[in-house]
Amino acid sequence: MNDFYEQELNQLLGDDVVPVREVAEANIDKAWIKVLFRKRKEELFFTIKKAFKYAAIILLAVALGYVIASYRMNKIDWNASTSFNIPNAEMGNVVLPDGSKVKLNSSSQLKYPLKFISSREVFLTGEAFFEVTSDPGKPFFVHVDGFTVKVTGTQFNVKSYPGTNPEVTLEKGKITVINKGGDQTVELKPNQNLIFDKAQNRFFVTTTDPHLKTDWTQGKIFMKNQTIEEMAKILERWYDVKIVFDNESIRKVRLTGTILKNKPIEQILNVLVKSESIDFRYFDDSNDRKIIHINYKR
């Protein structure tokens, strides 16, 4: 608009009327604000839309991962077994899939499935103390060389090292012992010990103090009128040594006493020397394993 005519028009309208140019500029500002608002609105909508798109992708990935994980879990062979091995001079504890607790002595192995499904069965070589979780509808079986122990929930000790007659001692509850052929069954009560004589294929049951059989879990073994040969096998497992008898007749010498795992083997042998007319000597083999020779005193 021409500046001259604009001035004349403004004079005619008076001082109380907004100048024409200001009105035009105000309208332009309002229009520009509307344009900016519309643009911001479109940008916000696009941002939200984009965010929902990525959120959907993430949720899809999580869901897919869950499906794959579930599929893999269902493909696991729960019947597959695993084993827990304890070397010489060590002890160990394991909790089974049903919550049962097992303490294993030195040189022992326990095989068990990843999950108890239709039954609860384990296989033992060596010695272990069991605290079985009670489940009357699903008995618990311990298989050793010679027999099987059947329980529903109790505490007992099983010992079955290679070359020995397996035995079981009941501390609490009730257990059933079945031979391999299934034609011999014995029910044990607390404070009873059962030994299976492999040569005679017979069970022998005696009354005993269960702590004499289970205190190895506390690092103590009681020897009552047992042969030095039997003691030597315990020492070999507990201390990872090899014991050699220079005189074969020494194997049958009997003794009574207590072996403490927290004591050095030299202390145990020194006590043995004082009580019997025998002596011992140390040697080291190439694997740094001590070899102990036992002979009569000269």
In whole numbers, what is the pLDDT of the chain averaged over residues? 81
SS3 state at 138: coil
With beta carbons less than 8 A apart as the criterion, state whether 177 and 157 touch.
no
Tell me if the domain spanning 219-296 has CATH number 3.55.50.30. Answer: yes
Looking up tokens 């269960």 gives: 210
Q: 81-210: which CATH topology?
A: Jelly Rolls (2.60.120)
Helix (H, G, I), strand (E, B) or coil at 145: coil
Partners of residue 147 on adjacent β-strands = 179
DSSP letters of 16-79? TS--HHHHHHHHHHHHHHHHHHHHHHHHHHHHHHHHHHHHHHHHHHHHHHHHHHHHHHHHS-TT
Task: Note the Cα 100 to chain centre separation in Å.
Answer: 11
pLDDT, residue 226, reads 87
> At 239, is the secondary structure helix, strand, or coil?
helix
Residue of higher predicted confidence among 255 and 13: 255
Mean pLDDT, residues 263-292 = 79
Owner of token pair 């005696």: 206
Rg (CA), the chain: 42
Long-range contacts of 186-192 (CB under 8 A, 24+ apart): 188/156
pLDDT in tens, 99-146: 999 999 999 999 999 999 888 999 999 999 999 999 999 999 999 999
Angstrom distance (rounded) from CA 251 to CA 249: 5
Beta-bridge partners for 222: 258
pLDDT of residue 280 exceeding 90, the answer is: no
Amino acid symbol at 246: D
Per the CB < 8 A criterion, the answer to whether 212 and 234 are in contact is no
Q: Check whether 32 has a pLDDT greater than 70.
A: no
Provide, rounded to the nearest whole percent, the portion of the chain with pLDDT above 70: 71
CA angle (237 as vertex; 81, 261 as ends), nearest 5: 115
For the ranges 161-165, 192-196, 273-277, which has the lowest average pLDDT?
273-277
Q: Which tokens in the block code for residue 45?
A: 């909508």
Q: Please, are residues 217 and 199 in contact by the beta-carbon 8 Å criterion? A: no
